[in-house]
Amino acid sequence: MRGFTLLELLVSLTLGLLLMTFLIGTLFATQQSNRQTQQLVQLQQNSQMLVSLFQAELPNLMFFAGRSLADVAHASHQLPPVLGDCVAEFDTGSFPVKGQPYLSLYAQLVQRHKHLNCVSQPKAGSELLQFKRIVGNSVLATQMRANRFYFETSAASSRFVNSSSAELTPDSRYWPLSHQVFYISEQKHAGDTIPVLMRKRLIRNAAGQSIMDTDSIMDGVERMHFEFGLDANLDGQVDYYLSTEQMQPEHWQQQKHRIINIKFYLLLRSLDEDFSYQNNQLYQMGQQWFKAPSDPFRRLLVSSSVAFSNTRL
- Look at residue 312 in the predicted model and tell me its pLDDT: 47
- Look at residue 313 in the predicted model and tell me its pLDDT: 39
- HSE of 35, CA atoms in CB hemisphere, 13 A: 17
- Look at residue 113 in the predicted model and tell me its pLDDT: 58
- Look at residue 181 in the predicted model and tell me its pLDDT: 95
Residue 92 to residue 101: CA distance in whole angstroms? 7
Nearest to 235 by CA among 268, 252, 260, 270: 260
- Look at residue 16 in the predicted model and tell me its pLDDT: 78
Q: Where are the domains of the chain?
A: 7-307
In terms of Cβ atoms closer than 10 Å to its own Cβ (0-12, 13-18, 19+), residue 41 is exposed
pTM attached to this predicted model: 0.87
- Look at residue 95 in the predicted model and tell me its pLDDT: 94
- Look at residue 114 in the predicted model and tell me its pLDDT: 63
Q: Averaged in consecutive runs of 10 residues, what is the pLDDT profile of the chain (313 residues)?
A: 67 78 70 80 94 91 84 90 89 90 91 73 90 90 93 84 88 91 89 91 94 95 96 91 94 88 96 91 95 95 88 46
- Look at residue 143 in the predicted model and tell me its pLDDT: 92
